[in-house]
Amino acid sequence: MNRITEIRPSDKAAYNAAKERWDSIAKPLGSLGIFEDAICRIAAVQGSPDVDISRRTAVVFCADNGVVCEGVSQSDSSVTALCAREIAEGRSNINALARTYKADVKAIDIGIAEDIKCTGLINKKISHGTENMAVGAAMTREEAERAICVGLGIVKELRSDGARIIVSGEMGIGNTTTSAAVASVLLGLPASAVTGRGAGLDNAGLARKISVIERAAKVNRPDKNDALDVLAKLGGLDIAGMVGLFLGGAVYHIPVIIDGAISAVAALLAKRISPDCTDYMLASHVSAEPVGRLLLDAIGAKPVITAEMRLGEGTGGIMLLPLLDGALSVYNNAHRFDEIGLERYTPKC
């Protein structure tokens, strides 16, 4: 956690150099919209207008949540282990997309209730799931900090291995409940305003989920001004791992892509811990979950994709990669005003 004090704003000179390159391309100024800003932001993170995202990795944190015993989800915790195994062995949704977009996938056991031995699952287990937040704190503050350090350490390792961009992902039954609880406190909104149906709860299930979140807030009384307190009392180990991923991106100068609502909760927690880390984040899409847009607004992040996605695993985040590749094809290879003898466009307002 000590490395967090090293976080500084990204390199504005590199951002401006990338913008100058965009403006030299023979096209109307800013005509690729948010993609131009995204490439400039990556340049600022990497410290150079020569943007490189050729080595990309999706990191999927897998963990169980004790609150599942309250009936807040359609599935029980055994599904977390099943899905984690599928991701680790390359058979899940995120793996299919990663193969298409030439990305690696790392599945991290940061808190699965079961002990799984399978090819590809990286054991960074903090505990065998969290406690039931409806009756007490989900984890200790020390456990939350350790989980954040796992995320930081993974970014350090990926940086050493040559990764140039990271996609955040998660898998854990019950984590739409934990993320909604954290979002409710951080955003100062009632549970009913930020809680969705998750994998498909009926009306009775949704009402029960909201009630459990309200009870958890009342029992734990988290301090909204202390992100670690909120995370420890109401969050999950998967969320904590992603907090470390976002902070690690800022420490080690690698852009980290926000996936959906759960990932965005982690990004907002990271911002509350170290505000400058938002310079190192890119929002991929706005989740179909009710809180999706609210979280991105609180982070100050503009999503590229609006497609009503809510799958998780980093699937929305990884779908940003081919769009960035497309933007870079113009950024690096399109004709320029001086090359074709055309007078450059200039800003008119």
Question: In the predicted model, is pLDDT for residue 151 greater than 80?
Answer: yes
> What is the β-pairing status of strands 281-283 and 165-171?
unpaired
Which tens digit of pLDDT belongs to each residue from 40-69? Answer: 999 999 999 999 999 999 999 999 999 999
Torsion of CA 238, 244, 228, 295, to 10 degrees: -70
**DSSP state, residue 69:** G
Lowest mean pLDDT among 21-35, 208-222, 228-242, 335-349: 335-349
Asked if the model's pLDDT at residue 225 lies above 90, the reply is yes
Q: List, for residues 104-139, the tens digit of each pLDDT value.
A: 999 999 999 999 989 899 999 999 999 999 999 999
Q: Is the pLDDT of residue 330 over 90?
A: yes
* Domain-located, residue 12: no
Q: Please check whether residue 347 lies inside any domain of the structure.
A: no
Residue 114 inside a domain? The answer is yes
Q: Could you give the residue ranges of the DSSP H alpha helices within 25-172?
A: 34-46, 78-88, 93-100, 141-160
Q: What is the mean pLDDT of residues 326-347?
A: 88
Assess whether pLDDT exceeds 90 at residue 75: no
Contact 156, 246 (CB under 8 A): no
Q: Show the CA angle centred on residue 60, arms to residues 57 and 64, nearest 5°.
A: 170
pLDDT band at 316 (very low <50, low <70, confident <90, very high): very high
- The model's confidence at residue 32, banded by pLDDT at 50, 70 and 90, is very high
Q: Is the pLDDT of residue 199 over 90?
A: no
Task: Choose among 121, 57, 51: nearest CA to 83.
Answer: 121
> What is the residue-averaged pLDDT of the chain?
96
pLDDT in tens, 259-289: 999 999 999 999 999 999 999 999 999 998 8
Residue 196 in domain: yes
- Whether the CA torsion 15, 33, 257, 99 is positive or negative: it is negative
Cβ-contact 301, 283 below 8 angstroms: yes
Helices and strands counted in the chain (H then E) = 15, 6
In angstroms, the CA 210 to CA 225 distance is: 22
Using the Cα atoms of residue 274, residue 259, residue 124 and residue 105 in order, give the sign of their dihedral: negative
Indicate whether 21 belongs to any domain: no
- Whole-number pLDDT of residue 270: 98
- What the block records as the tokens of 14 is 């590199």
CATH number, domain at 101? 3.40.50.10210
Residue 338 in any domain: the answer is no
Residue among 249, 243, 258, 250 at smallest CA distance from 149: 243
Helix pair 237-252, 261-273: axis angle to 10 deg: 60
Q: Is position 313 annotated as part of the catalytic site?
A: yes
What 8-state DSSP symbol labels residue 342?
P
Query: Any bridge partners for residue 169, and if so which?
Result: 60
Residue type, 57: T
3-state secondary structure of 167: strand
Residue 349 has pLDDT above 80, yes or no: no
Distance CA 346, CA 344 (A): 6
Check: CB of residue 71 under 8 Å from CB of residue 208. Answer: yes
- Angle subtended by helix axes 321-333 and 12-24, to nearest 10: 70
Per the structure, how many domains does the chain have? 1
Residue 349 lies in a domain: no
State the Cα angle at 40 between 162 and 161, rounded to 5°: 5
Report the pLDDT value the prediction gives residue 337, as an integer from 0 to 100: 83
Band the pLDDT of 334: cuts 50, 70, 90. confident
Of the residues 86, 114, 313, 343, which is catalytic?
Answer: 313
H helices of the chain, where?
12-24, 34-46, 78-88, 93-100, 141-160, 175-187, 191-194, 203-220, 227-234, 237-252, 261-273, 292-299, 315-318, 321-333, 337-340
pLDDT at site 348: 66
Phi and psi at residue 58, in whole multiples of 5°? -95, 130
pLDDT above 90 coverage of the chain, percent: 90
In this prediction, residue 172 has a pLDDT band, given cuts at 50, 70 and 90, of very high
Domain that holds residue 314: 61-324
Is 120 within a domain? yes
Asked if the model's pLDDT at residue 347 lies above 80, the reply is no
| CA–CA dist 209, 212 (Å, integer) | 5
Q: What is the pLDDT of residue 74?
A: 87
